[in-house]
Structure 1
Amino acid sequence: MKLFGLMHRIYPIDQDGTRVASTDLAAGYEVELDGPVSLFRKSQKYGIRMANFLPALPLCDRWEMRAEILDEGSAGDTKQFTLDHTDGLVSHYSTGQRFDSDVERTLTRKWERATTEWDLQREDDVFDLGSEVMIPDFAIEHPDGRRAIMEIIGFWTPEYLTSKLAKIRQIEADNFVLAVSERLDCSDEDFGDSADRVLWFKTGMHVYDVVELAEEYASPVETGRD
């Protein structure tokens, strides 16, 4: 979802699909996506992102999708649409294919041309926030073992931004940093104790600004990390 730039929330669930209080109790995850109708603007662009995401679902071994679709021929009524892994769908995407937002794609390309010892990688850690989880965008690693984790906050609705900020304030990782679009209706005060770890950007980020942030907040990788 993050790679397609979709607004989402992730909840740990048990074998029956019921949400649980911690990832320690999880047998899987429920992902809730906001659709284009929830946006005030750029709904067509967001709808295209969602359409690009859907063919990626069959890449999962087991999955189930339930969509609530607005019926344009009625007064706000919705219809339900369901699919799952038993429907025999095959994705035209490859498992190794990468799908980045414009900001992430541009940063990755800039990084490939930059002269720095720091390595930009897709992050695979999961922050356990109790009834929800959060997967950051990137890890920034140095050959000496230091590592920073970065989340990018760009194009969101006001409601989703409020939810996102609440999650960020729960994260206690010392090496967690943020890159935030100046177009959003928020300020340093909204990030609580993480305010000093925020890199504000307009249309894109400069590699060396990110490196400077990593230099300040990166910490050694824990022993035993895969």
Structure 2
Amino acid sequence: HLLQYKSLIEGDADHGFTLTIDGPYSLFKPSTRYGLALAKMLPALLHVTKWSLHATLQNRDTYSGVWKKGRFSLNSDCDLVSHYPPGKPYDSMLEASFVERWAKSKTEWKLEREVDLIPIPGSVMIPDFRLVHPNGQSYLLEIVGYWRPEYLKKKFYQVQSAECDNLILAVSERLNLEKAGVKVKDVPVPIVWFKDKLLPKSVLEILNSI
């Protein structure tokens, strides 16, 4: 459970990102209580294409009781194979159906799945799709369809913090943004509104108007 950790994400899409993870109690004294939980992250990391891992290890000498530190390093050139299953191709049926409709649409815009990370203070935002045109234009598309106020508040905070000038939001009209404290007029990016289905035509209209 990542909520038990303190984490920091730094970097950018051009040079890569550094994710620092530690347990909160380690701020006060050496602790081994997070070792197993942190180790369980490694099989998930093996699904990433390019990565490197550097860990500081701590263990207490059995006889002297003195804490000793060590280093552990690994990278994507290792031959390890994860026993974790790959993640689901799409987060929701809404995304999956949008991809199917896009494949049938007659457009030069190519749809790519979760390929960009947008830096925000202390973290990153991962848009659902990237739209790429043969002329070099590129836009990111984030679909907002989940209704919980906490999710909506966090999502729109990320959008405002990202300061990304090529981001487009697709937002369900059924969401109660007001209850989540979201003011649409303050959203700094174009919005595509939809009801039950997100249609490629609606997204293309926004792309053509930008």
Fold match by TM threshold 0.5: yes
- Equivalence for 2:183: 189
Which protein has the bigger strand share? 2
Shift of 1:142: 0.9
Which protein has the bigger helix share? 1
Shift of 1:208: 1.4
- The residue type paired with residue 186 of structure 2 is G
- Structure with more relative contact order (C-alpha pairs < 8 Å, separation 6 or more): 1
Q: TM-score, normalised on structure 2?
A: 0.60
Moved over 4 A (4+): none
Shift of 1:26: 5.9
Q: TM-score, normalised on structure 1?
A: 0.56
Pick closer, same or farther for the CA change 1:92–1:19 going to 2, 3 Å: closer
> What SS is found at the alignment partner of 1:180?
strand
> Mind listing any 5+ residue stretches in structure 1 that lack a counterpart?
1-9, 12-16, 31-56, 64-87, 218-226
Structure 1 position 210 matched with structure 2 position 206? no
Q: Say whether the 8 Å CA contact 1:140–1:214 is kept in structure 2.
A: no
- Equivalence for 1:7: none
Shift of 1:180: 0.4
Identity between Structure 1 and Structure 2 (%): 31
Q: Say whether the 8 Å CA contact 1:177–1:194 is kept in structure 2.
A: no
Q: Which moved more, 1:102-111 or 1:205-214?
A: 205-214
Q: Aligned partners of 1:120, 1:26: CA distance in 2, in Å? A: 24
Q: Say whether the 8 Å CA contact 1:149–1:176 is kept in structure 2.
A: yes
> What SS is found at the alignment partner of 1:23?
strand
Residues 81-127 of structure 1: CA deviation (Å, up to 9, x unaligned): xxxxxxx972354x8x7234111111100111111111111132111
- The residue type paired with residue 210 of structure 1 is V
> Mind listing any 5+ residue stretches in structure 2 that lack a counterpart?
22-41, 49-80
Max radius of gyration: which structure? 2
